[in-house]
Structure 1
Amino acid sequence: MRDDELRRILADANPWWASAAAGTDPTAWTRANRILRDRAGYDLGYRSRILDDIARGQPDGSLTVLTGPRRAGKTVAVLDTAAHLCAHPEVDPRQVIYASCDGMAARDLRRLITLGRALTRSVDAPAPRRRIWLLDEISGITGWSSVLKAARDAGDFGDDTVVATGSRWVGNEDVHGNLFAGRAGSGTGHRVRQLLPMGFRDYVTATHPHLPLPPVTHPGELDGASAADALSALAFGVDGVDLAWQDYLTCGGFPRAVAEHQRTGAVSTAYLRDLLAWLRADVDPDAPTDSVPLLLAGIAGRMTSPINLTATAAELGYPNRDLFERRTIRLINSHAALRCRQRADDGRAVTGTQHKLYLTDPILAWLPALVSPDLPRPDFTALNEMALAVALARAIDQQDEGRWIADDTIGYARTGSGNEIDLSPVRIPSTAGPTMTTPIESKWIDSGWRAEARSIETKYGHGILATKSILDLDHPVKAVPAPMVASLLG
């Protein structure tokens, strides 16, 4: 891009600069912004808090990478942050620089950083001031982390606060080496953050605000005394959370999908096709139109068991295992799928074993049947296990930054009799030192739970059996409705 094109892009993307120069309301742009206007059409009041620390503070020189699937609200979160900063009494709006990096090359990004500072130089009188850069969808630029590394090493950009968002985590982009080896600044928040669709707790807050929920609990203390006391006090609400959970397992947590389901009882075909377009672009852009629905349906139907890649590739019509595996890796990189490895008793992954594969939001499991009626609908037993697995993975990543993108969150275990424990203990930090997560077995049942608890009780002596609607806290393995388990995880 030429300099004049980049200057125009920056001027158009940062209308608050002109407002600040003219002495008018620097937040007036929010009423005209197309993305924020579109949100108003399906707004249930949900707001991600993922950038709250940046939105309410002075520039601190931190660098944050915000990743997550498309359509989950990263751009909305960034624009909300810009609006809060523009209204902050201690921030000059000209310190805030937003840019959508879609379609740019590395050289464009380098020049944009130079021009962004030059176009806001008026804010440096009488003394230089740090900037807050909001660089949206930067991960589409090959070598973007190297560009930011060079810029932070060489000039004032290294003292600025930077938020860089992206929808794909590509292994050959050395984000940690380029950006966090002494260049992350002084911020205290997570350097790599995941903005995923709403978890169940946020879903309930947005759609069933009257439902009481237990307090968020450390993943290693789900069957502890404090959690049991909190759950016991909420025994009266089991039916309500069960119905809310079934709604959540039907529509998932993408904000627009939640709003549409809440208002009409279904997710619109238009939005389903938006999700499908995202997945086609990121996973299989050159394949036939039914490729992604068939892939999602194939995974959704196999989520409760370790996946045999060779056999599954053949069953789904792939010419070889490698092609199928590349597609699943693209799903993982796009935050649409989550790997669950077999774990040993000490929590370490067992090499050379089959893994489970979960989709990361219920609507992705429903999408094949909703856009192609001849494809199977997902089973609630699988949806229940999937949603708990994702909730636990999110909680682990919250306790130990970077675990999700390192593909090292959840695991399953084998028992001596050959059975599986769905979510086996893995090692995570706690305030008291390293500990293990509570083992969880998922069973979509509302009776006869003691027989189902034998495997987890025999192997670990304690844990959680996540049921449909049974709450029984009087045994070493406690029966807890799956939605309550998800609520404990946050």
Structure 2
Amino acid sequence: MRDDEIRRHLTQMNPWWRAAVSGTSPTAWVDQHRVFRDLGRHDMGYRSPVLDDIANGPVSDQLVVLSGPRRIGKSVTLLQTAERLCSRADVDPRQVIHVPCDGMTTQDLRRVLVLGRTLTASVDRETPTPRVWLLDEVSAILGWSAILKGARDNTDFGDDTVVATGSRWAEGEDIEGNLMAGRAGSGTRRWRTLYPMSFREFTSATAPELGLPDRLHPAELQSGVARSALENYGFFVDDFDLAWQAYLTTGGFPRAVAEHSQLGAVTDSFIADLEAWLHRDVEPAASPESVPLLLNALATRSSSPFSVSSAAQELSYGKGVLDLRLRRLIASHALVRCPRREAGQIVPGAQAKYYLADPILSWLPSRRRSGLPAPDMTQLTESIIGVTQARAIDVIDEGRLPHGDTIGYVRTSNDKEIDLGPVVVPTSTGAGMTVPLESKWVDHGRKSEARTISAKFDAGILATKSVLDLEGRVWAVPAPLVALMLL
């Protein structure tokens, strides 16, 4: 892009700059903006808190890398953050620089950092004034993190607040080395992910009349506080069971939740959008039908260790190709790896389980290809409880989920499996261990699984369909209540 093209791009993408000249409201642009008009058709009032501190806090010297799957609303969240910043009396709208980066080159990004400051130079009066840079889908630019590092080390850009978003990070991009080491902002959670709505967020949006138990630390799911909370919700087990089944059918993508609430189901067009995202990021050279087949292979095997060799043979491509596609699914936030663990440590070379990161991804195969089965609700419950615990651990220990170090299954001496064994997590008093969890989405017949957990760990929780039983060392707790306590 030429400099004049970049200038035009920045001016068009930052309509609030005109307010300083025209004397209009710095948020008047919202009513005319296409993203907000589109959002209005599916808006249920849900707002992710992922950038609340950027919108409400100091505008200098913060750096946040925000990742998340496509179609989750990262661009919307950035624009909502811009709106909130522009509405503040202590922020000049010219301090906010929004840059959609799709289609840009490394040289374009370098020039953007120069021209963005030049175009807003009128905000610098006696001293340089910090900016807030909202760089959308910057991960599409090869080497972007090194460019930002150089600018932060050597220019006034180092005093600015920067939010850089992306849907899939290139394997060779050294984000941690370039941006996470050293000074990256005081007290800021630097690496964040915009996830699909959790079951708690889904229930708050779709069934606000249901009171929700407080979240607990993953190491405290069998504490006295947990017992008291669960006893108070025993009368509402059936209501939570219905809400859980709705969540397993819909998932947490905000548009999917809105469509389910407004129309009774997620539309075919949104399912097609999700398939197009995965085809682009995971299997761009494969046939269109490859995505449903791959997701079906993962969903139907989710409750057992995944054999890459046998799955690759079934899918008719090599083991190396499948390994690559699994890594891409994880990098695209569509898949969570659940390795085998012993004494809390990952067992090298052992087969892992794989959980699709949102329920709607398990429905995509049967919605997009005739003859593929609908997901099994028992398997889907195990997957989503695993994903929920992985996300909960990442909340209290930043960066573990991107590195695959959150959850893990365990084998017993008689070769049985426990879905989620204990892992080390930080607590207020030092290192602690999560509570063992086994998904058993039934109303009866849970005693053998309880004995398995008791023999291996002495205590733990069975995530049931609707049984709540807090007697003994192994509790039976409905899966939706387990999810609500975790996240």
Q: What band does the TM-score fall into relative to the shorter chain?
A: over 0.9
In structure 2, C-alpha distance between the alignment counterparts of 1:228 and 1:140, rounded to whole Å: 47
Give 1:213's aligned residue.
Answer: 212
1:330 counterpart (328, 331, 334): 328
Uncovered stretches (5+) of structure 1, i.e. residues with no partner: none
CA deviation after TM superposition for structure 1 residue 125, in Å = 1.2
SS of structure 1 residue aligned to 2:169:
coil
In structure 2, C-alpha distance between the alignment counterparts of 1:183 and 1:281, rounded to whole Å: 35
Give 1:430's aligned residue.
Answer: 427
Give 1:389's aligned residue.
Answer: 386
Give 2:229's aligned residue.
Answer: 230
Contact 1:169 1:405 in 2 (8 A): no
CA deviation after TM superposition for structure 1 residue 21, in Å = 2.2
Q: Which residues in structure 2 correspond to 1:248-259 (within 5 Å)? A: 248-259=247-258
**What is the one-letter code of the residue matched to 1:288?**
S
In structure 1, C-alpha distance between the alignment counterparts of 2:17 and 2:375, rounded to whole Å: 49
In structure 1, C-alpha distance between the alignment counterparts of 2:73 and 2:178, rounded to whole Å: 26
Give 2:177's aligned residue.
Answer: 177
In structure 2, C-alpha distance between the alignment counterparts of 1:470 and 1:170, rounded to whole Å: 45
1:343 counterpart (338, 341, 344): 341
Tell me the alpha carbon deviations over residues 426-479 of structure 1, each in whole angstroms, 9 at most, x when there is no partner. Answer: 111111111111110001101122232111111011111000111111121111
Tell me the alpha carbon deviations over residues 312-355 of structure 1, each in whole angstroms, 9 at most, x when there is no partner. Answer: 1101221x11111111111111000010000111x111101000
TM-score by length of 2: 0.99
Tell me the alpha carbon deviations over residues 207-250 of structure 1, each in whole angstroms, 9 at most, x when there is no partner. Answer: 00011111000001111110110011011110000000000000
Give 1:52's aligned residue.
Answer: 52
Q: Which residues in structure 2 correspond to 1:314-329 (within 5 Å)? A: 314-318=313-317, 320-329=318-327
Contact 1:152 1:183 in 2 (8 A): no
Tell me the alpha carbon deviations over residues 169-217 of structure 1, each in whole angstroms, 9 at most, x when there is no partner. Answer: 333111110012223122x231000111001000000000011111000
Q: Which residues in structure 2 correspond to 1:7-46 (within 5 Å)? A: 7-46=7-46
In structure 2, C-alpha distance between the alignment counterparts of 1:58 and 1:18, rounded to whole Å: 23
Contact 1:63 1:184 in 2 (8 A): yes
Tell me the alpha carbon deviations over residues 340-377 of structure 1, each in whole angstroms, 9 at most, x when there is no partner. Answer: 000111x1111010000110000000001011121111
In structure 1, C-alpha distance between the alignment counterparts of 2:143 and 2:305, rounded to whole Å: 35
In structure 2, C-alpha distance between the alignment counterparts of 1:185 and 1:71, rounded to whole Å: 28
In structure 1, C-alpha distance between the alignment counterparts of 2:416 and 2:252, rounded to whole Å: 31
SS of structure 1 residue aligned to 2:220:
coil
TM-score by length of 1: 0.98
2:463 counterpart (458, 463, 466): 466
Q: Number of matched residues?
A: 487
1:411 counterpart (408, 424, 432): 408
2:483 counterpart (478, 481, 486): 486
CA deviation after TM superposition for structure 1 residue 17, in Å = 0.5
Give 1:355's aligned residue.
Answer: 352
Contact 1:212 1:237 in 2 (8 A): no
Q: Which residues in structure 2 correspond to 1:124-203 (within 5 Å)? A: 124-186=124-186, 188-203=187-202
SS of structure 2 residue aligned to 1:441:
strand
**Does residue 242 of structure 1 match 2:274?**
no
Tell me the alpha carbon deviations over residues 25-70 of structure 1, each in whole angstroms, 9 at most, x when there is no partner. Answer: 0101111111111111011111100000010122130100000101
Give 1:271's aligned residue.
Answer: 270
